[in-house]
Amino acid sequence: MTGPTLLVDQFQRRITYLRLSVTDRCDLRCAYCMPERMTFLPRKDVLSLEELHDLALGFIARGITKIRLTGGEPLVRRDMMELVRALGRKVGDGLDELTMTTNGTRLAEFAEDLFAAGVRRINVSLDTLDRDRFVRLARRDSLAQVLEGLAAARAVGLRVKLNTVALKGINEDELPEIVAWAHGQGFEATLIEVMPLGEIEEDRFDHYLPLSAVRDRLERRWTLTESEHRSGGPARYVDVAETGGRLGLITPLTNNFCEGCNRIRVTATGQLYACLGGNEQVDLRAALRSDDPQGRLDAALDLAMRIKPARHHFAIDGHGQAPALSRHMSMTGG
């Protein structure tokens, strides 16, 4: 009798990386991500921690080796650490890595527990080191808590990568300082082009900053050398000679990175999106809550492999353009 088959899509890409959202809720309201008065999901629609755990085990059985817990902000979910501890026990037993993306506001409280549970690396979203600018971007005065959380993460031994969305006219002038500060702290840094997901109050075209232009400016200041390093995600890396650090570039608009995609995303409601930039989805919650959860889950994952597209088609090329997708990033999972 053979075991479950590995996840391989129609383009023969092996899928080994799951980004699992545990909540769409967040304690910040970043202007490029969501409206100020965001409507969140009814709690009854969100998978329980037990269902999230069962789902993760089902993915591990099908060859997923890396799980990133996302949101929203995962650390605002009540009893979240129970799930982290349960999944942490699978590291070395089917799972190579358990990691998390967080905005850092609650890291000071949870950094030690995350490390103890088996998490060794986290991504922290931070778009500015200026308090006033942070308030404008995040619509909350929480920079001090984020910096405290970053210090706590470093103190307990968590490896940190800062994720910074490059925004024309907002943090454009600060990007070199953020990179230099991150490297000075012993963190990696990654710059990301703004993604056209969900309706927001501002026009994304006004703040879209191609990373090709950012790199040109950085190369006038620093020596950048292509790196062979890969993290399993979409970033491509360069080494910065003058800072001694590594810089990642995520370019969904200017340099499509889909050819080697090894990722799928599952929302907090159990909807599997085969592509961040597509509407192809499979309902895993229905499978989990059926009278044959294992059989239905395997069938749903097989379907997901058949419908995963070759690439996304993001574009921001004019004022007033509708977003590529109506759902917000916080709904899909970062």
Mean pLDDT by 10 residues, the chain (334 residues): 78 94 88 71 89 97 97 94 98 97 97 98 97 94 97 98 93 96 97 65 65 93 92 83 95 63 91 80 95 95 89 48 45 54
Consult the annotation and say whether 34 binds a ligand: no
Buried b (16+ CB within 10 A) or exposed e, 207-229: bbbbbeebbeebeeebebeeeee
Q: What pLDDT does 69 receive?
A: 98
CATH of the domain at 114: 3.20.20.70
Consult the annotation and say whether 161 binds a ligand: yes
Consult the annotation and say whether 178 binds a ligand: no
Calpha distance 134→140 (Å, rounded): 7
Q: What pLDDT does 29 receive?
A: 80
Q: What pLDDT does 319 receive?
A: 45
Domain that holds residue 236: 17-332
Count of structural domains within the chain: 1
Consult the annotation and say whether 139 binds a ligand: no
In a domain, residue 101? The reply is yes
In a domain, residue 139? The reply is yes
Q: What pLDDT does 235 receive?
A: 82
Consult the annotation and say whether 170 binds a ligand: no
In a domain, residue 8? The reply is no
DSSP character for 270?
Answer: S
Q: What pLDDT does 262 receive?
A: 86
Consult the annotation and say whether 62 binds a ligand: no
In a domain, residue 11? The reply is no
In a domain, residue 1? The reply is no
Q: What pLDDT does 196 receive?
A: 54
Which long-range contacts (C-beta less than 8 Å, at least 24 apart) are formed by 238-246?
Answer: 240/179, 240/183, 243/179, 243/180, 243/183, 243/184, 244/183, 245/179, 245/182, 245/183, 245/187, 245/188, 245/189, 246/188, 246/189
Calpha distance 290→202 (Å, rounded): 42
Q: What pLDDT does 38 receive?
A: 73
Task: Please state, as a whole number, how many other Cβ atoms lie within 10 Å of the Cβ of residue 60.
Answer: 18
Consult the annotation and say whether 26 binds a ligand: yes
In a domain, residue 3? The reply is no
Query: Amino acid identity, residue 242?
Result: E
In a domain, residue 99? The reply is yes
Backbone angles phi, psi at 100, to 5 degrees: -150, 150
Residue 154 contacts by C-beta under 8 Å, 6 or more apart in sequence? Answer: 160, 185, 186, 187
Consult the annotation and say whether 122 binds a ligand: no
Consult the annotation and say whether 136 binds a ligand: no
Name the E strands within the chain.
17-21, 66-70, 97-102, 121-125, 159-166, 188-193, 224-226, 236-240, 245-250, 263-266, 271-273, 281-283
Consult the annotation and say whether 101 binds a ligand: yes
Consult the annotation and say whether 30 binds a ligand: yes
Torsion of CA 56, 61, 63, 67, to 10 degrees: 20
Consult the annotation and say whether 33 binds a ligand: yes
CA distances from 40 to 23, 43, 46, 287, 327 (A): 9, 9, 10, 23, 12
Half-sphere exposure of 119 (CA within 13 A, CB side): 30
Consult the annotation and say whether 133 binds a ligand: no
Token pair in block for residue 232: 């399993």
Q: What pLDDT does 318 receive?
A: 45
Q: What pLDDT does 30 receive?
A: 80
Return the residue matching tokens 């909807």.
271
In a domain, residue 175? The reply is yes
